[in-house]
Amino acid sequence: MKMNIRITVIAGLALFFFLINLNTVVLANERGDALKSLKNITGYQVTVKIAGSKLKKEGLSREQIQKDIEDKIKAAGITLLTPAERSREPGRPLLKVIITGFQLREVKKFVYNIDIKAYQDVILKRDPETIISAPTWSKRLAGTTSSLEDIREFAKTAVDMFIKSSRYGAGKKE
């Protein structure tokens, strides 16, 4: 029993120190069907949420990140939809970005997680009468940084990945 506790503590400490030195890890849903699901979507409503009062208190602005993302989407030639426009658009496409994180005061670093997901209406094959909004494409960036500005830049990077996938899914090679 003592050996198991000791191994667990050592593994936990190893993970902690690994995370402290980690910059960014990207986890992706890049299956062929995920890319194909983006085909023929010409616009998205964009929503941004920052979960973690410490990130907000330290100055990470939801409004600024929303603007950054919308600017990138528009520059890529993708239409920004209002909620009313989205409700009329086939599939009701939504691009959702959620940033979570906290500060490790001892080492003056932020641990962050950025989830970016493209949602659209899907029909259940086993029950074609049921239509639900579901993520059909996603990426996650996670890591540590000493700067909130880095988190903002990583959110922009996540959007660049979405744009690239969106173009690829539409058959456009860069």
111-141 pLDDT, tens digit per residue, is 889 999 999 999 999 999 999 999 999 999 9
Contact 152, 38 (CB under 8 A): no
- The DSSP line for 47-114 is EEEEE-HHHHHTT--HHHHHHHHHHHHHHTTPEEPPHHHHHHSTT--EEEEEEEEEEEGGGTEEEEEE
When pLDDT is averaged across residues 70-89 and rounded to a whole number, the result is 96
When pLDDT is averaged across residues 63-90 and rounded to a whole number, the result is 96
Q: Structure pTM?
A: 0.80
* CA separation for the pair 121, 93 (Å, rounded): 7
DSSP state letter for 37: T
pLDDT-above-70 percentage for the chain: 78
* CA separation for the pair 146, 89 (Å, rounded): 41
When pLDDT is averaged across residues 146-170 and rounded to a whole number, the result is 89
List the chain domain ranges: 23-169
Which three-class secondary structure state does DSSP give residue 115? strand
CA 106 to chain centre: 27
* 102, pLDDT greater than 70: yes
CATH of 23-169, one of 3.30.1370, 3.30.70, 3.30.160, 2.60.40: 3.30.160
